[in-house]
């Protein structure tokens, strides 16, 4: 019986070690995914810069590319606009190219700010990325006149321009 429990413990220990090893391998692969996406983007961007006029389109017409031209164009933008990012910054990026493409619409200081505030993180969704691009609604309301305000200003201006031609009775109605 004691021999059986020792064998079971050894099997359990091996299983735990296998699980831990698997977790580490998966984590490494997941972390390298963003690096691979950025490398792909930089490679596509470099190819785009090196190709002469018309060759970029020929590349896609050959139907030998592993993805569509639109994805290639997005990868070029990612490769060009995020080329400033170092490994430490890239570690905070999501791996999905469509989300990275949305982030390219932000300035470098904005991206750095959003990383510091943890708004940009590896699990960022496309919806969250798009929300980072949306202007602050509270600032808009205070600086941009609403449609009602605009219409009232137009009416005020119209009334001021015409009051000199009104009769006393018409002016009295405005009070």
How far apart CA 102 and CA 115 sit, in angstroms, is: 15
Find out whether 114 and 120 touch, Cβ atoms under 8 Å. yes
Provide the sign of the torsion angle of the four alpha carbons 75, 77, 82, 84, taken in this order: positive
**Largest Cα span, the chain:** 114
pLDDT at 150 exceeding the cut of 60: yes
Return phi, psi of residue 3, to 5°.
-65, -35
3-state DSSP: the chain helix, strand, coil percent, rounded to 5? Answer: 75, 0, 25
The pLDDT confidence band at residue 139, using thresholds 50, 70 and 90, is very low
Residue 62 vs residue 143, higher pLDDT = 62
DSSP per-residue codes, 133-169 = HSPPHHHHHHHSPPHHHHHHHHHHHHHHHHGGGS-HH
pLDDT tens across 66-103, in order? 888 899 899 999 999 999 999 899 989 998 999 999 99
Host H or E run for residue 144: none
The token pair at 107 is 């300035």
pLDDT of residue 2: 52
| Chain centroid to CA 93 | 9
Provide the sign of the torsion angle of the four alpha carbons 120, 122, 123, 126, taken in this order: positive
């Amino acid at each position: 019986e004691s021999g059986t429990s020792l064998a079971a413990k050894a099997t359990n220990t091996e299983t735990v070690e296998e699980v831990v090893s698997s977790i580490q391998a998966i984590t490494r692969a997941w972390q390298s995914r963003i690096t691979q996406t950025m490398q792909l983007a930089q490679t596509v961007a470099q190819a785009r810069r090196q190709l002469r006029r018309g060759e970029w389109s020929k590349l896609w017409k050959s139907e030998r590319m592993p993805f569509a031209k639109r994805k290639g164009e997005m990868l070029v933008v990612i490769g060009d606009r995020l080329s400033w990012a170092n490994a430490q910054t890239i570690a905070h990026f999501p791996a999905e190219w469509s989300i990275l493409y949305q982030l390219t619409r932000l300035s470098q200081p904005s991206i750095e700010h959003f990383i510091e505030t943890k708004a940009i993180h590896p699990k960022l969704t496309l919806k969250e990325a798009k929300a980072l691009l949306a202007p602050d609604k509270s600032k808009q309301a205070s600086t941009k006149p609403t449609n009602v305000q605009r219409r009232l200003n137009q009416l005020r201006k119209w009334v001021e321009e015409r009051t000199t031609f009104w009769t006393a009775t018409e002016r009295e109605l405005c009070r």
